[in-house]
């Protein structure tokens, strides 16, 4: 375990620093390839400083396993429920758990059993050919952000997440830039994101600051593509919700097939209307005897195969 004390944090002043990082050189994207990190914990005394626990930019083909990152070590005591019933303070901007690799990752990057607690951005996801299994981020500002840090290469190939969790964060995941560049500048869009069994807990009173922020959103709506299947628990001692809004109503997520895994695909009109649908969701209404598609989740607008509203 690496413990970053209060004295160490105060000594950094206004600088942005890293606890663990790959060496940043102009040597190219294969610099630091095949790095393996396993069985490591980094504990910060508090989350009020601009500090990154692990920075993997300019590394390749990383294998990360059993990584725990905690931002409020100074508040933990044997008789404390800090981090469970009591959330930590709202983290300072730039207090980051893990930053993944640069774009154009050479071969694969694998992350297994990575967990962060109490950061401004728990896990900054980026790079290509990324696989995350059993990774989670809790009780911070953003649990996950995607493409929200500068890279020097393209970000086109898939990011896949399996059984990952976003619990009691102020905001749900934020999607930034993806795509590539050529001599004329940006070539934005079309990177694939797949989330399989993505788990959300959304509880204001168990969240830093006691207020909820944004649901999922894209800084440039429609940029990302892929598939997301999720469940969302709105309170403790409560079942997963069928009326949960997952995307901001600004065009975000329009390129991603998103499904609340608690929704049936076939049921009555009344049950269909009790759901908060997703854009493009397909549903067979047994009362109407028709296959329907949602074209406006916010207002629950459904049309049939001929485009007629029902």
290-296 and 301-303 beta bridge pairing: antiparallel
Let me know whether 193 and 156 are in one domain: yes
pLDDT (0 to 100) of residue 32: 53
Give how many domains the chain has, as a whole number.
2
Let me know whether 145 and 293 are in one domain: no
pLDDT (0 to 100) of residue 107: 74
Let me know whether 116 and 219 are in one domain: yes
Per-range mean pLDDT, top range of 41-50, 98-107, 180-189 = 41-50
Q: Please say if the pLDDT value at position 29 is more than 60.
A: no
54 within 8 A of 99, measured Cβ to Cβ: yes
Let me know whether 127 and 206 are in one domain: yes
Sign of the four-CA dihedral 250, 254, 143, 262: positive
Q: What residues make up the domain containing 287? A: 269-310
First to last CA, the chain: 59
37 within 8 A of 63, measured Cβ to Cβ: yes
pLDDT tens per residue across span 76-111: 988 888 888 899 999 999 999 999 988 776 678 999
CA distance 139 to 123: 12
Q: Please say if the pLDDT value at position 28 is more than 70.
A: no
| Residue whose entry in the numeric block shows the structure tokens 């429609």 | 222
pLDDT (0 to 100) of residue 70: 98
Q: What DSSP state is assigned to residue 251?
A: S
Token pair of 99 as six digits: 């930053």
CA distance 211 to 237: 20
Let me know whether 208 and 103 are in one domain: yes
User: What are the C-alpha distances in Å from 17 to residues 22, 52, 134, 163, 215?
Assistant: 13, 6, 27, 31, 29
Closest CA to 130 of 151, 204, 217, 211: 151
* Mean pLDDT calculated for residue range 192-216: 97
CA distance 165 to 232: 10
- Residue 150: Cβ-neighbour burial (10 angstroms; 0-12, 13-18, 19+): exposed
Q: Please say if the pLDDT value at position 300 is more than 80.
A: yes
Let me know whether 80 and 131 are in one domain: yes
Average pLDDT, the chain: 93
Let me know whether 66 and 192 are in one domain: yes
pLDDT (0 to 100) of residue 26: 55
Closest CA to 174 of 103, 231, 223: 223
Q: Please say if the pLDDT value at position 262 is more than 80.
A: yes
Let me know whether 140 and 182 are in one domain: yes
User: What are the C-alpha distances in Å from 14 to residues 17, 73, 141, 243, 300?
Assistant: 9, 21, 20, 43, 48
Residue 260: pLDDT band (50, 70, 90) is very high
Three-state DSSP class for residue 273? helix
Let me know whether 220 and 185 are in one domain: yes
Token pair of 168 as six digits: 């009691």
E-strand spans in 71-216?
A: 96-99, 109-117, 121-125, 130-133, 136-138, 142-146, 159-162, 165-167, 174-175, 179-182, 185-188, 192-201
Q: What are phi and psi of 208, to 5 degrees?
A: -50, 130
Q: Bigger pLDDT: 127 or 43?
A: 43
pLDDT (0 to 100) of residue 151: 82
Let me know whether 248 and 296 are in one domain: no
CA distance 143 to 173: 7
Let me know whether 172 and 291 are in one domain: no
| Residue whose entry in the numeric block shows the structure tokens 């390749």 | 60
pLDDT tens per residue across span 130-177: 999 999 999 999 999 999 998 877 888 999 999 999 999 999 999 999
Q: Please say if the pLDDT value at position 278 is more than 70.
A: yes
Let me know whether 191 and 279 are in one domain: no
């Amino acid at each position: 375990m690496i413990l970053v004390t209060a004295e160490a944090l105060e000594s950094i002043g206004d600088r942005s620093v890293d606890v663990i990082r790959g060496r940043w050189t102009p040597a190219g994207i294969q610099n630091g390839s095949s790095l393996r990190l396993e069985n490591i914990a980094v504990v910060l005394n508090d989350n009020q400083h601009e500090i990154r626990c692990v920075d993997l930019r300019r590394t390749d083909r990383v294998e990360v396993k059993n990584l725990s990152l905690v931002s409020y070590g100074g508040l933990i005591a044997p008789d404390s429920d800090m981090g469970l019933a009591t959330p930590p303070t709202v983290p300072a901007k730039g207090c980051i758990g893990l930053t993944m690799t640069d774009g154009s990752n050479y071969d694969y990057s694998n992350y297994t059993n990575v967990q962060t607690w109490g950061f401004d951005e728990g896990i900054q996801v980026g790079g290509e050919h990324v696989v995350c299994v059993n990774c989670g981020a809790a009780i911070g500002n953003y649990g996950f952000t995607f493409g929200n840090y500068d890279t020097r290469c393209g970000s086109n190939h898939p990011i896949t997440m399996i059984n990952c969790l976003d619990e009691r964060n102020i905001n749900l995941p934020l999607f930034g830039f993806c795509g590539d560049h050529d001599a004329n500048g940006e070539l934005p869009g079309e990177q694939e994101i797949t989330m399989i069994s993505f788990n959300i807990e959304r509880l204001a009173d168990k969240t830093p600051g006691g207020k909820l922020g944004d649901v999922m959103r894209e800084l440039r709506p429609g940029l990302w593509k892929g598939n997301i299947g999720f469940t969302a628990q709105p309170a403790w001692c409560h079942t997963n919700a069928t009326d949960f809004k997952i995307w901001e109503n600004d065009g975000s997520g329009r390129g991603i097939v998103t499904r609340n895994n608690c929704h049936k695909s076939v049921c009555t009109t009344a049950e269909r209307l009790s759901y908060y649908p997703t854009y493009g969701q397909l549903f067979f209404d047994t009362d109407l005897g028709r296959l329907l598609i949602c074209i406006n989740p916010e207002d629950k607008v459904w049309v049939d195969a001929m485009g007629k509203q029902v």
